[in-house]
Copies of this chain bind each other. A is one copy, B any other.
Amino acid sequence: MRNDKFPDTDGFDLQSFLPFLLNQAAESASIDFQKVYKDRYGMLRTEWRVLFHLGLFGSMTAKQIGHRAKTHKTKISRAVHQLENRRFLKRTRDDQDRRVEWLALTPMGESAYRELRDIAVQYDAKLAGQFDADEIAILRKMLRRLAGFE
């Protein structure tokens, strides 16, 4: 947190303060990908996240997605509705526990997922490309820890 540029400010540097810095980095790093799912697919952030979870893990419940994506159930609920309206997913009630519903992508949803995932892979490679491989590995490891993954 020491800061040579502003020794008169008790060494505090806003641009090094992790909550601020992480938010700014996250926003910058997301903006172009956001344009893709927003402008080209008409999706909201929670919607692509739900799409990706189902694409990656197959059938899941809303609760499971919310837990894994650290997203509140109302946001998940709305994203699921929207994806359902667009015929990207279908829901089926659990026979054992009729409160639960299992979500799964339709063929249309699968196809949208694959397209977006390929874009995501390229996008990530481009972001990571500006750093050394070992640096990126350190970055991801630290971010995973900060995010509470692992």
Q: Could you tell me which A residues sit within 8 Å of B by CB distance?
A: 1, 6, 9-12, 14-30, 33-34, 49, 52-53, 55-56, 70, 117, 120-121, 123-125, 127-128, 130-131, 135, 138-140, 142-149
Contact = CB atoms under 8 A, between A and B. Distances in A.
A142 B139 contact: yes
Contacts of A147: 15, 21, 24-25, 27-28
Contacts of A135: 138, 142
A86 B22 CA distance: 28
A40 to B, nearest CB: 15
A5 to B, nearest CB: 10
Contact of A26 (B23, B55, B56): B23
